[in-house]
Homo-oligomer: A and B are copies of this chain.
């Protein structure tokens, strides 16, 4: 299975005009209002800006309102590993609950906006609203499942399978957020894709070229069109 649709949020975020896509369906009007109070703090980040850094004190989760972020963990010796690409509607910062400090850093890949979700308040509210509690648990669990999908990818797939899985995952998430499943612009460089997939950028580039030669995709720099979804899927499945 490719890395899964990740933590797309259906929590809160009403003040952020994400009412329609971000709310758990089961809330009463009054619960809704309380949720709105929670998430009234909105912030903007320029491309390249840090939402948080490794070691920062944890206070809030963030719901991405627009734009996208990458998360990465840094190794002592300077090596870095991109651990996720997050887009609008997804929740970022779950790693930090564990120790009250962030264990990775989050960088905007384009100009982006987030809603702040103060965690203590979120916990309070979820004690009172069972459906919200369950929702929060699901979001965290989904992140675990997503990570295990990436472990599968990194541990047992070859370069082109990894890239195919990656493209299909982007495709699916784009579709989920109402965008095209077959045409999109990559927000990340070959280097970042390589880090995420455990490959060197040259290998990523060659895989892109090879897919294009095979008629699987059309790619020009960061503009990608998936021409043959079924064949991409079989590529991931078997080999």
Q: Once bound together, how far apart are the Cα atoms of A147 and B152, in whole Å? A: 11
A interface SS class? helix
Contact A155 B81 (CB under 8 A): yes
A133-162: which residues lie under 8 A (CB-CB) from chain B? 133-134, 137-138, 140-145, 147-152, 154-156
Known pairs A143-B144, A198-B154; A1 contacts B98 (CB<8 A): no
A158 to chain B, nearest CB (A): 11
A69 to chain B, nearest CB (A): 15
Known pairs A97-B138, A127-B130; A151 contacts B150 (CB<8 A): yes
Contact B141 A141 (CB under 8 A): no
A154 contact from B79, B133, B154, Cβ within 8 A: B154
Interface string of A155-186 (1 = CB under 8 A from B): 11000000000000000000000000000000
**A residues bordering B, Cβ < 8 Å?**
1, 73, 75-77, 79-81, 83, 94-99, 103-104, 123, 126-128, 130, 133-134, 137-138, 140-145, 147-152, 154-156, 195-198, 237-239
